[in-house]
Amino acid sequence: MDKIKTQLQQTSQATHSERRGRLISLSALSLIVLVVIAIFWFVATKGLATFFENHVDFWSFLSGKTWDPGVKNASGQPLFGALPMIVGSFLITVLAALVATPFAIGTAVFMNEIEPRHGAKIIQPVTELLVGIPSVVYGFIGLSVVVPLVRNTFGGSGFGILSGTVVLFIMILPTVTSMTADALKSVPRYYREASLALGATRWQTIYKVVLRAATPGILTAVVFGMARAFGEALAVQMVVGNAALLPQNLVSPSSTLTSVLTQGIGNTVMGSLQNNALWSLALVLLVMSLVFNLVIRLIGRKGALR
Amino acid sequence: MKAKTADKIATAVFYAVAGLVVLILAFLLGYILLAGLPKLSWHFLAAPAQAFSAGGGIGIQLFNSFYLLVLAMLISFPIALGAGIYLNEYAKQNWITNVVRTAIEILSSLPSVVVGLFGFLLFVVQFKLGFSILSGALALTFFNLPLLTRSVETSLASIPNLQREAGLALGLSRWETVTKVILPAAVPSILTGVILSAGRVFGEAAALIYTSGQSAPALNFADWNPFNIASPLNPLRPAETLAVHIWKINSEGIMPDASAVSAGASAVLVIAVLLFNFLARWLGNRLYKRLTAND
Amino acid sequence: MADLQTTAPERNILTFSEPEHELALATKDLHVYYGENEALREADLQFERYKITALIGASGSGKSTFLRSLNRMNDGVARVTGNIMYRDLDINSNQIDVYEMRRHIGMVFQRPNPFAKSIYDNITFALRQRGVHDKQELDEIVETSLRQAAMWDQVKDELHKSALALSGGQQQRLCIARAIAVKPDILLLDEPASALDPVATAQIEDTLLKLKENYTIIIVTHNMQQAARVSDYTAFFHLGRVLEYDEARKIFTRPKVTITNDYISGNFG
């Protein structure tokens, strides 16, 4: 009897294992958080060095049209105009999303509302498979199919914003479609039944009830696709032409933040002005990915309030 | 009837849009496979690459891709497992947990090129690991951790609470209950998540070009001592993967048969990803059957 | 007796002061809070050794909350204040090793929850975690536990089959066997038969009546007949309070409190 009493007041083997396990799993989680902090810290210090150490004017970085970090202008300021890349990145992202959205919604509605049998059996598994196709493969297709097609149709080299847009459109289409389909699926069945029972046609039901109820989910899908497009490096770099010029039209060679980064890091010396300038571009990328994240959260919160 | 006409037109439009998308997706898959499959041969899969002449293979790159995948998984899985367990079993509902979850979500949404650059800065430059398999595996780990953690967490969450109560009521600690009861029950679903993320890691290139490098030095496949420089297992040698290879030969294009090699390599990459997906799907279905058979 | 116009609920709480009653467990001024909400207040109950005590009351009356507090299954879920006395120790204090304590105060839940393991492993799992590896010893414990749970004859030839293949009633009895395999003093049962059919329920009740030779049993039930059939003492919970606690035959024949009478005669809840 007394033995049990003492045992109850001692630390048992189970308690020891619990403390150990908690510590182990907490360390693992902390490690991930540490990695996130480290990424932000490293990229931010490197990216801000351009402005604080090399004293480049922040505004001329954002609005300058010439990117040639080796050369200085009349007033001794290096030519760090990131505007061409920023414009390039946004243009490609927005265009790709604009094209992909109607296709994604159309396909998702088709496979959910119009032909659910074929949708669930064929289209959905295929789109989900295509989500996993590596981006270099999209780049390769862009290079061997899209660029020649653009060249033959519009003349020029074929490299440029248009090719980049087409490649990213194809790349984000499966992602946006399958996320949109999930959003439609989460609309309760009785919404549709109530609408149809009131005498609405299928199109009216889809347009006025289903799509409306699924709007937050669809917006999330589109922003998610945009975030992927904005951050994509290699597939874009392969087809965009890589000329750090403000795009004159959709078929002239241009560049994006990611494409300049991909090409430049290997060709500059660590710690040099040219190298720091590239890290500033990486910082812009990082901040933009935060913005996309924030937007998705805001949409989610609004959707939850309904 | 106006509404009926609109309905008919809309239905036709949906058929057309879906048809077009299916056509695009089918063309995509078809093109990769049709352009690449004729190129596939034992020689192509096993031979080393040629820089300036035609007829090179992808043997070393293929090996590198698998080696990196295995290493990255070996590093990231235990971390993701621990983090997933903590999030699902221990974390309280408070602002700290929210911040942690947000941080993981942000990590998962970072462009892979940024993750690669961070890996370059930290491992290649600061830790002086150089362009090496180890640097690449660590960069891939960062890229992989959020997805894998999430999949561990959701797998654990799908095991009913009744099982945890059963363990606790027997005087087992939560840790014992989770590792010996909950985790074994969640294995099939965790495995599915691991395989899916493996497919993603296998095709990743942007995080690798500045970490594991863009060169594939000749390997001596008879030397399995990880400390020898020509050994395939040496974690400190530079290692161009299949995905990086496709990018590299297409952007530099010295090789006369670059497009044929990329077509073949793309097909291999896509087939590998498809296999990973089918494996995950098959496992998922088996899990589903096992669960429903018991009820 | 059925005076429905009482204003304040009378309380009748049984206390054991005579020395012949050996107590297994007692609570003093136990309160349970879910956040701001007080789910249970001022519970002072004493449980006699080798007896079955039934906790009855409508859903939300606090009876399950009370039961789950007794072996601290509410840790991390709710805040529990007051004392739970076991072997002259307040086990509601953080000086007590909660995992060690639960080996002496076991619990069986409403829904059968066997592990996705074999019948044998279900019973031996907790023991092996605590370092019992002797095959013969484990075999013996498996046999006695299953015998006490009255299912040895049915499963002795298929001990290595998955526990999930058993019927609901058998699963619940396996859970009882699993709980007594670690040789507890006290068994807490939270509506153990509510998910079972009448035949399985009757078997569980038989099992409990045999088990009380060796264990102190506290059972939550919403089934009045069950409480009347198996329990020696019965506590009636109402809106987070213990309104009446007495010998079962008294509660079911001559309840002192009006609300108790209403409840057991089916007028509400």
Domains of chain A listed by start with CATH number? 83-305 (1.10.3720.10)
Cβ atoms < 10 Å from Cβ of A53: 12
Of A268-277, B140-149, C251-260, which gets the smallest average pLDDT? A268-277
Spatial separation of the C-alpha atoms in residues B106 and B206, rounded to whole Å: 18
Cβ atoms < 10 Å from Cβ of B54: 11
Contacts for A92 with CB less than 8 Å, ≥ 6 apart: A161, A164, A165, A168, A229, A236, A240, A256
For C14-264, which CATH superfamily applies?
P-loop containing nucleotide triphosphate hydrolases (3.40.50.300)
Helix (H, G, I), strand (E, B) or coil at C44: coil
Beta-carbon contacts below 8 Å between B and C? 60
Cβ atoms < 10 Å from Cβ of C5: 5
C97 and B173 in contact (C-beta within 8 Å)? no
- CB-count exposure of residue B170 (10 Å: 0-12, 13-18, 19+): buried
Q: How far is CA A154 from CA A138, A143, A162, A241, A256, in A?
A: 21, 16, 10, 15, 21
Q: Nearest residue on chain B to C68, judged by CA atoms? A: B169
Backbone angles phi, psi at C85, to 5 degrees: -95, 125
C30 and C151 in contact (C-beta within 8 Å)? no
Could C115 and B162 be called an inter-chain contact, meaning their C-beta atoms sit closer than 8 Å?
no
Contacts for B95 with CB less than 8 Å, ≥ 6 apart: none
Distance from CA of C179 to the nearest CA of B (A): 6
Distance from CA of C105 to the nearest CA of B (A): 8
Contacts for C7 with CB less than 8 Å, ≥ 6 apart: none
Tokens of C140: 């013996």
pLDDT of C161-189, one tens digit each? 999 999 988 999 999 999 999 999 999 99
pLDDT of C108-164, one tens digit each? 999 999 998 999 999 999 999 988 999 999 999 999 999 998 899 999 999 999 999
Could B172 and C116 be called an inter-chain contact, meaning their C-beta atoms sit closer than 8 Å?
no
Angle of helix C168-181 versus helix C119-129 axis, rounded to 10: 20
Task: Grade residue C3 by pLDDT with cuts at 50, 70 and 90.
Answer: very low
Contacts for B182 with CB less than 8 Å, ≥ 6 apart: B89, B156, B159, B163, B164, B167
Among the listed residues C43, C51, C23, the one whose alpha carbon sits nearest the alpha carbon of residue C248: C51
Computed over every residue of chain C, the mean pLDDT equals: 88
pLDDT number for residue A76: 67
A75 and A235 in contact (C-beta within 8 Å)? no
∠ Cα B81 B288 B194 (to 5°): 30
**Chain B residues inside the 8 Å CB shell of A293:** 105-106, 109
Task: Give me the residues paired with residue C245 across strands.
Answer: C13, C235
pLDDT number for residue B38: 87
Cβ atoms < 10 Å from Cβ of A191: 15
**Chain A residues inside the 8 Å CB shell of B120:** 265
Nearest Cβ partner of A26 from B4, B86, B281? B86
pLDDT number for residue B231: 84
Length of chain C: 269
Selected residue of C115, C117, C218 to mutate for chain B interface (largest B Cβ count, 10 A): C115
Among the listed residues A248, A247, A221, the one whose alpha carbon sits nearest the alpha carbon of residue A90: A247
Query: A232 — alpha (psi -120 to 50), left (phi > 0) or beta?
Result: beta
Residues of chain A with pLDDT under 50: none
pLDDT number for residue A132: 86
**Chain C residues inside the 8 Å CB shell of A14:** 97, 99-100, 129
Task: Give me the residues paired with residue C55 across strands.
Answer: C220, C235
CA atoms within 13 A on the CB side of A27: 7
Spatial separation of the C-alpha atoms in residues B237 and A129, rounded to whole Å: 33
Q: How many helices (H) and strands (E) does chain C have?
A: 10, 12
Spatial separation of the C-alpha atoms in residues C125 and C120, rounded to whole Å: 8
A171 and A232 in contact (C-beta within 8 Å)? yes
Q: How far is CA A202 from CA A192, A255, B4, C138, in A?
A: 9, 45, 9, 65
- CB-count exposure of residue B61 (10 Å: 0-12, 13-18, 19+): buried
Spatial separation of the C-alpha atoms in residues C135 and A154, rounded to whole Å: 81
Spatial separation of the C-alpha atoms in residues C238 and B265, rounded to whole Å: 73
- CB-count exposure of residue C246 (10 Å: 0-12, 13-18, 19+): buried
Q: Interface pTM (ipTM) of the complex?
A: 0.89
Length of chain A: 306
pLDDT number for residue B180: 92
pLDDT number for residue C268: 67
Among the listed residues C150, C167, C248, the one whose alpha carbon sits nearest the alpha carbon of residue C206: C150
Overall average pLDDT of the C94-113 stretch: 93
Percent of chain C topping pLDDT 70: 94
Strand segments, DSSP code E, in C4-78 are 12-13, 23-34, 37-43, 46-48, 52-57
pLDDT number for residue C231: 93
Task: Grade residue B291 by pLDDT with cuts at 50, 70 and 90.
Answer: low
Could B170 and C103 be called an inter-chain contact, meaning their C-beta atoms sit closer than 8 Å?
yes
Spatial separation of the C-alpha atoms in residues C184 and C25, rounded to whole Å: 13
Task: Give me the residues paired with residue C186 across strands.
Answer: C105, C216
Each domain of chain C, given as residue ranges in start order, spans 14-264
Residue A3 contacts C, CB cutoff 8 Å: no
Distance from CA of A74 to the nearest CA of B (A): 33
- CB-count exposure of residue C25 (10 Å: 0-12, 13-18, 19+): buried
Among the listed residues A281, A263, A245, A261, the one whose alpha carbon sits nearest the alpha carbon of residue A62: A281
Spatial separation of the C-alpha atoms in residues A75 and A81, rounded to whole Å: 15
Among the listed residues C174, C264, C250, the one whose alpha carbon sits nearest the alpha carbon of residue C221: C264
pLDDT number for residue C19: 64
**Chain C residues inside the 8 Å CB shell of A8:** 87, 89, 91, 96-97, 100-101, 104
pLDDT number for residue B244: 93
Tokens of A81: 């105009």
Helix (H) or strand (E) holding A18: helix A13-52
Asked whether the predicted pLDDT for residue B295 surpasses 50, the reply is: no
Among the listed residues B62, B52, B55, the one whose alpha carbon sits nearest the alpha carbon of residue B239: B62
Q: How far is CA B98 from CA A36, A305, B91, B105, C114, in A?
A: 15, 19, 10, 10, 33
**Chain B residues inside the 8 Å CB shell of A130:** 25, 28-29
Residue B272 contacts A, CB cutoff 8 Å: no
∠ Cα A126 A132 A138 (to 5°): 95
Among the listed residues A219, A258, A245, A268, the one whose alpha carbon sits nearest the alpha carbon of residue A101: A219
Asked whether the predicted pLDDT for residue B286 surpasses 90, the reply is: no
**Chain B residues inside the 8 Å CB shell of C73:** 165, 168-169
Could B163 and C164 be called an inter-chain contact, meaning their C-beta atoms sit closer than 8 Å?
no
Chains sharing 3 or more CB pairs under 8 A with chain C: A, B
Asked whether the predicted pLDDT for residue C2 surpasses 60, the reply is: no
Tokens of A239: 């087809």
Tokens of A284: 């812009």
Angle of helix B95-109 versus helix A273-305 axis, rounded to 10: 120
Spatial separation of the C-alpha atoms in residues B72 and B143, rounded to whole Å: 10
Task: Grade residue C5 by pLDDT with cuts at 50, 70 and 90.
Answer: very low
Contacts for C168 with CB less than 8 Å, ≥ 6 apart: C112, C195, C196, C197, C200
Q: How many helices (H) and strands (E) does chain B have?
A: 11, 0
Helix (H, G, I), strand (E, B) or coil at C30: strand
Query: C88 — alpha (psi -120 to 50), left (phi > 0) or beta?
Result: left
Asked whether the predicted pLDDT for residue C98 surpasses 60, the reply is: yes
**Chain C residues inside the 8 Å CB shell of B180:** 125, 129
Spatial separation of the C-alpha atoms in residues A179 and B147, rounded to whole Å: 16
